Chains A and B, each alone.
Chain A
Amino acid sequence: MLLTVDLALLLEKLILVIVVVFTSLGIAMYTTFAERKVAAILQDRRGPNRAGPFGLLQPLADGMKLFFKEEIIPNFSSKFLFILGPALAMLTACMTSAVIPWGDKVELFGRTISLQIADVNIGVLYVFGVVSLGVYGIMIGAWASNNKFSLMGGLRAASQIISYELAMGISLIALLMITGTLSLKEMVVQQQHGYWNIVLQPLGFLIFLVCAFAECNRTPFDLPEAENELIGGYHTEYSSMKLGFYLFSEYINMFVSSVVMATLFFGGYDVPWFDESTLAPNIAAIIGVTALMIKVVAFIFLFMWVRWTIPRFRYDQLMHLGWRILIPLALFNMLATGGVILYFNK
């Protein structure tokens, strides 16, 4: 039999999946809290401080409120698709974490456990594939709502995500030309022994960052929901926890794209100027995971900082930036990278 799997390995992976998914959910939960606190600080307010010490229980209170709210499904909408929309949004948001190396390896009960759920040899493409599917949750929900504003939001989301995917893909190609591998794990190992990819690909990182903002529908690219023109865009008709899923998947996406950027360009779980291989593997793993999380928190803060600093783009400006600026820049970056590689290999 071909698919015979070691039972212990199955159990190990299952535990890893549960831990990773629940960690992402937990972090996303507190990201909603952090967003409100950061917004408050940037606007010289106090932010939520009533539920629990320093308002720390606020996300729980928000979640409870969403669960207990009345659920309304519009009359003329397709009910199955209406429910499928937020479910898909949540699913695609959680799927990416499968190929991310969270740390090197730990030794427990005499087993060496790799802190990565699946080290497939097409890692980066898998991430890209899941990102490209992310738009379905929004589009299906928007169409099923049977509402003009929702449909407008959904169409905006689709065109925006397709447009920015192109530039993102081209900037990734330049990165892949340097690393010569699609496996995220190997990329991190390469960065441990050499320079971080940000040094080699500064322009590529900038393009990737802008595209990541657009793919997450974060301000300044939050046109799909644009509350003052579309009353909430694709989730106008949604209420209770279905709305919660849509809002929450945005925060999971933000967390996951921060992890991806940290892994691709900032060395993943690598600590700069420090050789982890001399330490015991478990301690090295803890240090590695902590280093990755610090990088991720920095990225999430950047996401929020930008949201509360830069106003929303106009629609034509968004398309102009995507097609006339980012794609030519990404193409130039790819050509320049190829030229440099060719020159040094000779």
Chain B
Amino acid sequence: MNITTIIFILLSVMALGSAIMMITSKSPVHSVLWLIIVFFAISGHYILLNAQFLAIVNIIVYAGAIMVLFLFVVMLMNLNAETEPIKNYRLQLVGVVSGCSLLLIIIMALNRLDVENVVEMKVGDGGLIKVLGMTLFKNYVLPFEISSVLFLSAMIGAVVIGKKDMIADKK
């Protein structure tokens, strides 16, 4: 067992443990904080795979921006156990069924995997920014541009929804 394997196992334990803590903790704020730790562990995995750019972008976008917004909303709404709506039986059933089917899909996907070589360290340089940029803008220009248009339309949609409330308030 070399150092990279040990680091891999540590990071995986960290990721899975924090993910479980995120689901089980009562306070929404604690959940958000656990989720941030999950993102850090995943970024650690990216670094092990020599994908530094992905690792840092994961931190900037997820840990640095999206989770701050999550935390913002959770703090602003001041969610507590008392104010939490009681989910009815049907909703819980739907949750269990969809969760189980997702688990099934993941297990089926893992089944085909070559278990001996799950941990491949520092293979290739596909995650470095130069290679990534070349691949994105040479081989995948169209999907890249289409997804950016999708983002733009989502942004405009968000602004429109926000504005609609403001206009309704004025009336």
Chain B hits for A158, CB < 8 A: 68, 71-72
Given A120, A151, A165, which contacts B75 in the complex, CB threshold below 8 Å?
A151
Size bracket, chain B contacts? 20 to 34
Is there an interface contact between A139 and B68, defined as CB atoms closer than 8 Å?
yes
Q: Does A271 contact B (CB under 8 A)?
A: no
Given B53, B71, B122, B128, which contacts A2 in the complex, CB threshold below 8 Å?
B122
Q: Does A174 contact B (CB under 8 A)?
A: no
Is there an interface contact between B56 and A2, defined as CB atoms closer than 8 Å?
no
Chain B hits for A162, CB < 8 A: 65, 68-69
Chain A hits for B129, CB < 8 A: 121-122, 182
A132–B57 alpha-carbon span in the complex (Å): 11
Give min CB distance, A157 to chain B, whole Å. Answer: 10
Q: Considering the complex, give the chain B residue whose CB is closest to the CB of A161.
A: B68
**8 A Cβ contacts from B1-29 to A:** 2-4, 7, 29
Instruction: Convert A115-140 into 0s and 1s, putting 1 for each residue whose CB lies closer than 8 angstroms to a CB of B.
Output: 00000111001101100110110011
A129–B71 alpha-carbon span in the complex (Å): 17
Q: Does A289 contact B (CB under 8 A)?
A: no
Is there an interface contact between B68 and A143, defined as CB atoms closer than 8 Å?
no
Is there an interface contact between B3 and A140, defined as CB atoms closer than 8 Å?
no
With contacts A3-B3, A121-B128, A129-B59 known, what are 19 further pairs, Cβ within 8 A? A2-B122, A3-B7, A121-B52, A122-B56, A125-B57, A128-B60, A129-B64, A132-B59, A132-B63, A132-B68, A133-B64, A136-B68, A140-B33, A151-B75, A155-B72, A155-B76, A158-B68, A165-B65, A182-B129
Q: Which residues of A contact B (CB under 8 A)?
A: 1-3, 81, 120-122, 125-126, 128-129, 132-133, 135-136, 139-140, 143, 151, 154-155, 158-159, 161-162, 165, 182
For this complex, 5 residue pairs linking A to B, each with C-beta atoms less than 8 Å apart, are A2-B4, A129-B59, A129-B64, A136-B68, A158-B71
